[in-house]
Amino acid sequence: MSDNEDFLHNEEAIRQDPDNLIKSNDPNHPANLICTLCEQFYHNNWCTGTAGGISIKHSKYDHIYVAPSGVQKEKMKKEDLFVLNHDGSKILRSPKFYKPSDCTPLFKACFNVKNAGAIIHTHSQHAVICSLIFKDEFRISNIENIKAIPSGKTDPVTGKSIALSYFDTLKIPIIENMAHENELVDSFHEVFKKYPHTTALIVRRHGIFVWGPTIEKAKIFNEAIDYLMELAIKMYQLGIPPDCPIGDEQKY
């Protein structure tokens, strides 16, 4: 096994042995990081019973790593992963025992249309409950953690992404669930048009998809949103609308 990533991701090396794509020892290489994060997410009750998934695009070589369908997320090994080419049109490496996740077309849509570097999909109960108490979009206002989420605007001088402000309202669209995950592709594309700046979407009675330019960002967005959904449910149960103006809490 070699740590030479240039070699491991080289076209000729992949042709000779597709398993080169999963041979890196770097814990931050997608092949290793997907497994670490799936185990962590399992313990958050986000991926029990084989639910949920993660896909990461290698930041240098653009190979796409995807967790397979039906695997216990807390025991997943890098040998279980699929690897696709840069736009997901070709499978470069397959595991022995599994078939590709039904989420693969959804992940591809996020990679290709939203230029995502990683997508996290969980069955978080906070997302499911929010999809039951909110109608078309999840809304929460004036909570510090909102500042972890990008506004979609860019600083004209530095070119850097501008985050939401404490005084903003975070809005995450909710789409209807279908019998099979691949039937959700059209709804994903509609969301991309209607909410061009959103970095997440909730699927009613199912879970949430969160993406970002890197896996680090996607993980931070996902944690912040999950925290905010948990908080919104508590506010709702206390009779405080999660998107009410500051100072209006006492009215409820």
Catalytically active residues, by annotation: 144
Task: For a copy of itself, give the closer residue by CB, 88 or 212.
Answer: 212
> Strand 118-122 vs strand 53-57: parallel, antiparallel, or unpaired?
antiparallel
Number of residues that bind a copy of itself (CB under 8 A): 48
- Separation between Cα atoms, residue 38 and residue 14, nearest integer Å: 25
Task: For a copy of itself, give the closer residue by CB, 128 or 191.
Answer: 128
Taking each continuous run of H as one helix and of E as one strand, the counts in the chain are: 7, 11
Pick out the residues of the known binding site for substrate.
103
Does residue 238 contact residue 152 with C-beta atoms inside 8 Å?
A: no
The CA distances from residue 146 to 37, 59, 195, 228, in Å, are 23, 27, 17, 8
Does residue 76 contact residue 67 with C-beta atoms inside 8 Å?
A: yes
Pick out the residues of the known binding site for Zn(2+).
121, 123, 206
With both helix axes pointing from N to C terminus, report the angle between 30-42 and 215-237 in degrees, rounded to the nearest 10: 20
Q: Which of 110, 226, 229, 243 binds a copy of itself (CB under 8 A)?
A: 226
Residue where the block lists tokens 């084989």? 50
Q: Does 39 sit near a copy of itself (CB under 8 A)?
A: no
Q: Does 165 sit near a copy of itself (CB under 8 A)?
A: yes
Contacting range for a copy of itself; rule: CB under 8 A; set: 56-64, 110-118, 173-181, 191-199: 173-181
Task: For a copy of itself, give the closer residue by CB, 10 or 48.
Answer: 48
Task: For a copy of itself, give the closer residue by CB, 72 or 151.
Answer: 72
Element (H, E) at 86: none
Q: Which of 57, 58, 108, 123 binds a copy of itself (CB under 8 A)?
A: 123
Site for a copy of itself in 50-79 (CB under 8 A): 50-51, 72
CA atoms within 13 A on the CB side of 184: 28
Q: Does 161 sit near a copy of itself (CB under 8 A)?
A: no
Find how far residue 142's CA is from the centre of its chain.
Answer: 24
251 burial level (CB within 10 Å; 0-12, 13-18, 19+):
exposed
Q: Does 145 sit near a copy of itself (CB under 8 A)?
A: yes
229-232-233 Cα angle (round to 5): 90
Q: Which of 31, 203, 208, 229 binds a copy of itself (CB under 8 A)?
A: 203
Q: Which of 136, 176, 186, 190 binds a copy of itself (CB under 8 A)?
A: 176
Task: For a copy of itself, give the closer residue by CB, 114 or 226.
Answer: 226
- Residues contributing to the site for a copy of itself (CB under 8 A): 45, 48-51, 72, 123, 125, 128-129, 132-133, 135, 142-145, 148, 165-167, 176-179, 203-207, 216, 219-221, 223-224, 226-227, 230-231, 234-235, 237-238, 240, 246, 249-250
